[in-house]
């Protein structure tokens, strides 16, 4: 008997490696059959080294929310397993239907079920994938959303990611019934914490974030301000970034900025120096 609750397994043959199963990858896809509503299915891929002791594979999913399980399997011809012994083959399963926001536990076992020859993985079912294009001249990010059901709407917004993703006003709704799945969102500045966030308009839908500008950190140094009245030099990053800041003096001889002793500060937020002199070659680095 198969199934995710079948704990009975056979001792592994001495000739069989315990790593014949490799690299299980899980994603979701939309399946549409003419005359029926589209459904969201698990797409499970794995790699198997063929062996005459293995007759097939069994994939099972267990919903950790409802404890309901589904299983499916594929069988191999004994002659082919023997003929291609040791050869690696790719296997794919996409017949297990799921719902958005489901928490799933997936197992891949051999048939017969050999002890210690199993792959397992937890997976949170998400829907909606997006790619983007940046128009730097017009300060617009175009977002294209795919892989979500036609009868559901999808939210897309831009936000600044700190502890949570803070709203910056750029927001759009993509209607599931519309064939055009793209929106254009305006931004004021390309910051490393600027993210694209999307989620289905359903209860408990998980938000997917894409933060493509994480390496664009040079712009953060634009926020250095010197106040001559109070003799304070301050830097307040527009994004949360943990850095070590030093005061230094730029040397005329080689343009090297020599650190000023005891001026080092580390902070993810504002860095401020009080009673700073107005030396023209004083810098912050």
Q: How far is CA 64 from CA 5, 102, 104, 190, 216, in A?
A: 13, 8, 6, 40, 40
* One domain for residues 39 and 117: yes
On whether the CB atoms of residues 64 and 117 are closer than 8 A, the answer is no
On whether the CB atoms of residues 114 and 9 are closer than 8 A, the answer is yes
Asked, for residue 11, whether it belongs to a domain, the answer is no
On whether the CB atoms of residues 201 and 153 are closer than 8 A, the answer is yes
pLDDT of residue 133: 94
* One domain for residues 118 and 65: yes
Give the total number of structural domains in the chain. Answer: 3
* One domain for residues 25 and 98: yes
Structural domain range at position 134 = 129-210
Averages of pLDDT over runs of 10 residues in the chain (285 residues) are: 58 82 86 80 88 87 89 80 76 86 89 88 84 93 82 88 87 80 90 90 82 84 79 79 77 79 72 63 59
pLDDT of residue 53: 84
* One domain for residues 29 and 115: yes
Asked, for residue 10, whether it belongs to a domain, the answer is no
**Using CA of residue 7, residue 118, residue 95, residue 31, what is the dihedral sign?**
positive
Q: How far is CA 275 from CA 58, 104, 221, in A?
A: 71, 58, 21
Q: Give the CATH number of the domain where residue 142 resides.
A: 2.60.40
On whether the CB atoms of residues 250 and 170 are closer than 8 A, the answer is no
* One domain for residues 233 and 186: no
* One domain for residues 188 and 151: yes
* One domain for residues 117 and 26: yes
| Six token digits for residue 200 | 């289905």
* One domain for residues 235 and 156: no
* One domain for residues 107 and 77: yes
Asked, for residue 4, whether it belongs to a domain, the answer is no
CA separation for the pair 275, 192 (Å, rounded): 31
pLDDT of residue 5: 44
């Amino acid at each position: 008997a198969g199934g995710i609750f079948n704990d009975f397994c056979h001792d592994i043959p001495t000739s069989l490696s315990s790593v014949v199963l490799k690299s299980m990858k899980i994603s979701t896809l939309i399946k549409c059959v003419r005359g029926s509503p589209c459904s969201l299915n698990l797409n499970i891929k794995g790699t198997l080294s063929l062996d005459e002791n293995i007759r097939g594979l069994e994939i099972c999913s267990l919903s950790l929310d409802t404890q309901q399980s589904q299983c499916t399997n594929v069988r191999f011809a004994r002659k082919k397993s023997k003929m291609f012994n040791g050869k690696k083959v790719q296997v794919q399963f996409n017949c297990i239907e799921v719902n958005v926001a489901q928490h799933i536990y997936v197992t891949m076992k051999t048939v017969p079920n050999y002890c210690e020859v199993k792959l397992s993985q937890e997976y949170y079912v998400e829907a909606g994938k997006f790619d983007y294009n940046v128009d730097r001249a017009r300060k617009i990010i175009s977002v294209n959303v795919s892989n979500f059901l036609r009868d559901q709407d999808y939210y897309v917004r831009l936000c600044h990611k700190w502890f949570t993703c803070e709203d910056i006003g750029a927001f759009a709704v993509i209607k599931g019934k519309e064939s055009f799945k793209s929106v254009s969102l305006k931004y004021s500045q390309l910051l490393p914490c600027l993210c694209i966030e999307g989620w289905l308009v359903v209860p408990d839908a998980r938000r997917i974030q894409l933060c493509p500008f994480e390496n664009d950190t040079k712009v953060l140094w634009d926020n250095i301000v010197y106040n001559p009245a109070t003799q304070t030099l301050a830097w307040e990053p527009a994004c949360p970034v943990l850095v070590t800041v030093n005061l230094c003096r730029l040397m005329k001889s080689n343009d090297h900025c020599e650190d000023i002793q005891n001026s080092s500060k580390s902070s993810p937020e504002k860095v401020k120096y009080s009673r700073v002199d107005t030396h023209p070659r004083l810098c912050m680095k």
